[in-house]
Amino acid sequence: MNTSGSFSLNGKTVLLTGSTGHLGTAIALGLGEAGADLLLTARQEQQGEKLVSELSREGINARFHACDLTDKASLERLVACVADDPIHGLVNNAYSGGAGSVETALPDAWRAAYEVAVVSAHSLVQALLPNLRRAAAASGEASVVNIGSMYGNVSPDIAIYADKPSSNPPFYGAAKAALGQFTRYAACEFATENIRVNSVSPGPFPSHVVQADAPDLVSKITGKCPMKRIGQPHELAGPVVFLISSASSYITGADLAVDGGWTAW
């Protein structure tokens, strides 16, 4: 069997949410380098346009549409800009939330985490179904990738954090676990339409700010990881490209751990 080009995204349009963050920018670059035409979205237009300019210098075709995924009108404007165009890939990467613990977290933090991670992912998949179906009908498949977390599968070790208010919060992992269940449900619902739905669960990928401001925490995280290092953002891009591409054509409902072995202990 000739698998040449199966990893290529040439001729495919991919929509990426949370595109301007620590992991989002690397995912955008990886998708673009694989040949995808990108529709990027995040809340901050200035950061988005800067990213488009950076990608353009790399020869990547990208456009940006500012969107608050939790706002119905803003989401509708995003969907309207897609019009009737086929969407071959959708990457739900958006998340917004702070730190905390069961003892310190407030109810509003739970609601906000679910709204961005789970409700907006559902809303976007639902709204873009005509576009995903159009792509699947024309090319034989479409693919949705939801960005989960290792903390959707295991609990963080609160002991590695300075205190409870600064620890990885319970609502983060709970929202990512819910996103995992949504992934499995949607995968089964749309499997016969050749719309695949999978998730990727990153492990320790601390942002540059965390690396600079909390070196002790990064050292403890490194010590807990079997590979004894943190992940680099580009190391998440490859798995996402794989799941969007035809190379993963018989994979749906799966969760791919990208965590340096963290959840294998």
Annotated active-site positions, please?
172
Rounded Cα distance between 133 and 135, Å, is 5
User: Other C-beta atoms within 10 Å of 241: how many?
Assistant: 26
Residues contacting 65, CB < 8 A, separation 6+: 39, 40, 41, 48, 77, 78, 81
Report the candidate in 87, 89, 91, 113 with the shortest Cα–Cα distance to residue 100.
Answer: 113
| CB neighbours of residue 265 within 10 Å | 8
- Count Cβ atoms within 10 A of the Cβ of residue 192 and give its class: 0-12 exposed, 13-18 middle, 19 or more buried: exposed
151 vs 161: CA distance, rounded Å = 15
- The Cα 45–Cα 41 span in angstroms is 8
Q: How far is CA 170 from CA 29, 109, 183, 203, 210, in A?
A: 31, 10, 20, 16, 19
Q: How far is CA 159 from the centre of its chain?
A: 27
Whole-angstrom distance, CA of residue 96 vs CA of residue 2: 42
Asked if residue 252 lies in contact with residue 197, where contact means CB atoms within 8 angstroms, the answer is: yes
